[in-house]
Structure 1
Amino acid sequence: MWNFGYFKTIIAFAMLFCFLHSCQIKTDGELQYHKPQPEKGYNFPYLIFLPTNMPTDKELTMIVAPNNTGQVTDEFKKHIEKARRQATKPFYPGNYIASKLNLPLLVPIFPRSRKESRVYTHSLDRDVMLKKASPLKRIDLQLLAMHENALDTLRKRGFNLKEKFLMVGFSASGSFANRFSLIHPGKLLAVAAGGLNGILMLPEDTLRNQGLVYPLGTADFDSLFNKPFNKQAFKSLPQFLYMGELDDNDAAPYSDAYSEKERQLIFKLLGKKMLPDRWNRCRGIYKSNGVNAVIRTYKNTAHENPEAVKNEILKFFRKTITD
């Protein structure tokens, strides 16, 4: 189980690791490491990537890309290493779009522990959102606190930044982005998420008379987040959601991603077959609710982000920030 002694140890190691290895990253910009500041609301470090020649005479929008290590590990350095790649390599949508649009990119470094392997931090699952006496408590709010700190840091350097931000995620971090968009739609300017297991969090309390609690729906939203679900804000939020038609990376059957109860509801209400059944069912529910979402299925595409897809996200974000 998580304890604060262990938490302090991994953070101390993280700071040392970043310091010792800071000169080894080659980027087309500046990479900043920001240490945890529990007194400001976040218990884990985060990275900011600033593309070369980012302007100071224009209003800018921060891009936030939730980290996704792709494995459970208690070696915090592995979470740092993957977050650094996400922040600095154009292979990843966050860096690709930030570099093309000359916008700052924030990547949090949330751990995904082997000791608590069913707490799927990087997908913002139910287990992590139920955490109370833990450094992982309300990591959604911790991410908002990181963003506020990043705004303050960059404004002091002369950059003019909007309060709202863009969010982009893929696979587990795509689920994070989708779920975050229902929890905090008013904080976002737009969201892009892909590789979503054919499952979208639904803006409904029930489906076919079955209650939908988080992360399937909003039935327990008030009690979990201490506020009502702002359906109108979510419906008006520009969204770009996508799957590849050859994607076979389905998290639904696995216990780290969903509980048995959640899994049975997914299969019963949305479909056991990820593509096209489950995905099309979610698409129809979003459409019937009037959600402002572009929902795509890319032909000849697996669980990946080819350049053509990244360019569509780029076009979508560019239009959003200029409208």
Structure 2
Amino acid sequence: MKNSIFQSFYLAVTMLIFNNSYASIQSDSLKSRIIPVDTVIKIKANPKLGFNYPYYLRIPKGLKKNDVQYLLVETNNTGVNDTLEFHEKEAYLQIMRNSLGSSICSNLKVPFLMPVFPRPQKEWTIYTHAFDSDAAKIKNGDMKRMDLQLIAMIKNAREVLKTHEILTKEKILMNGFSASGTFANRFTLIHPELIAGVACGGINAITILPIPESEGKSLKYPLGTKDFEKLFASKFNMKAYQKVPQYFYMGENDKNDAASFDDAYSNSEREIIYELLGKTMIPDRFTKCEHIYAENKVNSTFKTYANIGHETDQTVFMDVYIFFKNIISQ
């Protein structure tokens, strides 16, 4: 069933696969000033340019080529599977329809990037889609520093978009839900200077904290910034992080707590989460994170939605849409 759905969506849009050169699309759709049809471009992995996995780039119907656009980025949250083909198919569906980012792309009329990052079953403790501690510590191989690979993809996407007469702003909009929301939250703390605004939902009521310790507890990544310089070879830019508009949201009935699973957190990390932030996600843990962000003057909004669980609805979509729309309008 998944394959048939995937194939039908391939027929519904213009699908392009680029290697190392980016020939302009010679169709009336991309020569016009307003894009009349959705176009999805698949960029193959290019280790020489800094990314070991492919990514998708969507140019939405209605995008105005004469405007300088924000690039919307959302990482794939495609489950556990040892084949990259599986993640490619699922990421394609997510960039087209199966993500909040796809709806934001369609309604804001901004280009949308989604990487095809693996999450292998055979290395199940490495939670790449959330960029956990195990993922951040990878020093060799294709999965090394996926945050830097994403930056390389973003740089490459800007060049691809230029060939279609679409210019983008220096900073990006970042969105995510569940594991991709956690990735977005952590990526923003590591690279705040790249982010114009970020929305993160369904993140187990845990935000990475922009502090090295709290209440006598050392907060190493992904809980805080204690070992930031050791892991990322740079100092945490607190001033830049404080300026980034951030929107965090949870459903009040959300029971999906990654803190209880070994692929997301170690035993020591779990103990700190429970002792410092609370075992109950809503309202205890989420409220504690909100207070810590407020105390540290981070430009953040925390919201809990009634009557929903680990999901989004039209109300969530409208709030996230308005959040990004306000950033674009500035």
CA distance in 1, matches of 2:122, 2:214: 34
Alignment size in residue pairs: 303
What aligned pairs does 1:117-132 form with structure 2 within 5 A after superposition? 117-132=124-139
**1:23: Cα distance to partner?**
7.3
Q: Which residue of the partner structure matches residue 86 of structure 2?
A: 78
CA distance in 2, matches of 1:135, 1:35: 14
**Given the superposition, is the C-alpha separation of residues 150 and 264 from structure 1 closer, same or farther in structure 2, using an over 3 Å criterion?**
same
TM-score by length of 2: 0.89
**1:132: Cα distance to partner?**
0.8
- In structure 1, which of residues 84, 96, 111 is the aligned counterpart of residue 118 of structure 2? 111
Q: Which residue of the partner structure matches residue 12 of structure 2?
A: 26
**Given the superposition, is the C-alpha separation of residues 75 and 290 from structure 1 closer, same or farther in structure 2, using an over 3 Å criterion?**
same
**1:199: Cα distance to partner?**
0.5
What aligned pairs does 1:240-251 form with structure 2 within 5 A after superposition? 240-251=247-258
Q: Percent identity?
A: 42
Q: Which residue of the partner structure matches residue 87 of structure 1?
A: 95
One-letter amino acid of the counterpart of residue 65, structure 2: T
One-letter amino acid of the counterpart of residue 68, structure 1: N
**1:96: Cα distance to partner?**
0.4
What aligned pairs does 1:1-323 form with structure 2 within 5 A after superposition? 24-27=10-13, 29-69=38-78, 71-89=79-97, 91-323=98-330
CA distance in 1, matches of 2:147, 2:210: 18
**1:21: Cα distance to partner?**
5.4
* 1:69-125: CA deviation from partner (whole Å, max 9, x where unpaired): 1x2111222211210111101x52111011101100000000000010000000010
Unaligned runs of 5+ in 1: 1-16
CA distance in 1, matches of 2:167, 2:75: 23
**1:53: Cα distance to partner?**
3.0
SS class of match (2:275): helix
SS class of match (1:199): coil
TM-score by length of 1: 0.91
CA distance in 2, matches of 1:261, 1:283: 22
CA distance in 2, matches of 1:221, 1:265: 18
One-letter amino acid of the counterpart of residue 310, structure 1: F
* 1:260-299: CA deviation from partner (whole Å, max 9, x where unpaired): 1100111111111111111111111111111101110011
CA distance in 2, matches of 1:256, 1:281: 24
* 1:166-190: CA deviation from partner (whole Å, max 9, x where unpaired): 0000001110000011000000110
CA distance in 1, matches of 2:184, 2:298: 15
